[in-house]
Amino acid sequence: MKAILIALIVTLPIGARAASSEDSYITARDKYIARLKTDGEVDEKTAKQEEAARTDLAGKLRAILGRVAVEGVPAESKLNLDTLIEGELGFGLIDGLAYQAGDDAPRLIVTTPALAKRWLTAHAKWWDSNNVPQDLSAALKSEPFYTQAISPDAAVARFADVPVAKPASASFVNAMLVARRQDIGLTAPDELLIAVMRADRLFIWSAPAQAKVVVNPACEAIWNDAVARGDKAYETYQKSDPKDEKLFEEQTRILQEGDDAFRRCFAEHAASEPFFPALTKQAQELVDKVK
C-alpha cells in the first residue's frame, strides 16, 4: 500500500501537486482567519495563536515556493500577511513570502501566479469602488492592486511608468515610479514598484528610488492653481448660509482633478528629467535579479 501511495505522488503532474499545495495553504489560512475572529481587543492568547498560525502558513508557502536565491536579499523570509485578524490594520495583504535585508533595502515579495489570481478574486469587491482589475497583468499595473496587496497604511499613487526589458524567462514585467501617501497633493515620488511574472513565480519588488526625484515646476504650478481654486470654493462655502454642501463637494472635485493633472504632468515630463536614466537603470537591475 505504501509503495502505491509513493507511486501516485511521484506520477502526479508537478502542476497538479502545486495546485494541491496551494489549496492546502488557502484552506489552512481561511480556517485560521475564521478561528481568530474577535469582536474586541486582541488579547495575549489570540496574539499567540495568530503567531503560531503565521509560522505554519509561512512554512506551507516555503514548501510551495522552494528556495528563493536572489542577489541582495537574505535567504530568510517572513509571511507577507501582516495579520490574520479581520478588522486589524494590514489584514488582506497578498499571500506570499517577503525578503528584505534591512528597513531601507529593497523588499521582494514572492508568490505564484495562481495564488495571486485567487487573491484577485477575493478582492474583486474589497472596497466600495476602484477595486483591483481581475486580469492579473492589468492588476500589476494598477494602483489599487499595490495598495491592497502590499501597502496597509497608505495609498499607492503612480507617477510614471519606467521602461524595462522583459527577460526571456518572464511572461510579464512592469515597473513604475510611485509614492505612498495618505492624502493627495504636491508629493515627489520616491519608490519603484516592479513586477516580474514567470509561469511558476510572481516577484514584486518595492525599492526606494536611488536617484533624487524632483517635481517639474510646471507640474507644481498645476497643483498650486488647483489649491487656489479649491480654497476659493471653500471660502464661498463657509460664507453660505445655510451651508451649500455642493460648494464643499466642488472643492473636493477641484483638488482631485488637480492631483490627477499634476501626476499626468509629472508622467509627461519624467522621461526627460535628469533623474530618470538612473531610475531606469535601477529598475532594470532589479528585474534582472529575478529573471
Global pTM value: 0.91
* C-alpha separations of 158 from 85, 86, 87, 191, 260 in Å: 29, 28, 27, 10, 10
What is the model's pLDDT at position 9?
41
In angstroms, the CA 138 to CA 144 distance is 11
What is the model's pLDDT at position 38?
86
40 or 150: which leads in pLDDT: 150
Query: Could you give the percent of the chain with pLDDT greater than 70?
Result: 93
Stretch 16-42: mean pLDDT: 87
Residue type (1 letter), 169: S
Stretch 206-213: mean pLDDT: 98
Confidence of residue 20 (pLDDT cuts 50, 70, 90): confident
In angstroms, the CA 147 to CA 142 distance is 9
Confidence of residue 18 (pLDDT cuts 50, 70, 90): low
pLDDT at 6 over 60: no
Q: How big is the chain, counted in residues? A: 291
What is the arrangement of strands in the sheet containing 172-181, beginning at the earlier edge strand?
Answer: 78-79, 97-100, 107-111, 202-208, 191-197, 172-181, 155-161
What is the model's pLDDT at position 139?
98
Cβ–Cβ contacts within 10 Å for residue 194, how many? 25
pLDDT at 73 over 80: yes
What is the model's pLDDT at position 14?
44
Summarised one tens digit per residue, pLDDT across range 238-252 is 999 888 888 889 999
12 or 154: which leads in pLDDT: 154
Burial class (CB in 10 A: 0-12, 13-18, 19+), 14: exposed
pLDDT at 13 over 50: no
- Dig out the grid coordinates for 126 from the structure: 474589497
Whether residue 291 contacts residue 167, with contact meaning beta carbons closer than 8 Å, is answered with yes
258 or 15: which leads in pLDDT: 258
Angle in degrees, CA 174, 261, 181, rounded to 5: 60
The DSSP secondary-structure symbol of 8 reads: H
Query: Could you give the percent of the chain with pLDDT greater than 90?
Result: 87
- Dig out the grid coordinates for 98 from the structure: 517577503
Q: Is the peptide bond before 242 cis (omega within 30 degrees of 0)?
A: yes
Crossing angle of helices 14-35 and 113-122, rounded to 10°: 40
Whether residue 95 contacts residue 113, with contact meaning beta carbons closer than 8 Å, is answered with no
pLDDT at 166 over 90: yes
- Among 34-48, 86-100, 223-237, 251-265, the range scoring the smallest mean pLDDT is 34-48
In angstroms, the CA 70 to CA 289 distance is 6
pLDDT at 10 over 80: no
Q: Where are the alpha helices (DSSP H) in 151-186?
A: none
Stretch 29-45: mean pLDDT: 91
Burial class (CB in 10 A: 0-12, 13-18, 19+), 161: middle
Stretch 139-157: mean pLDDT: 97
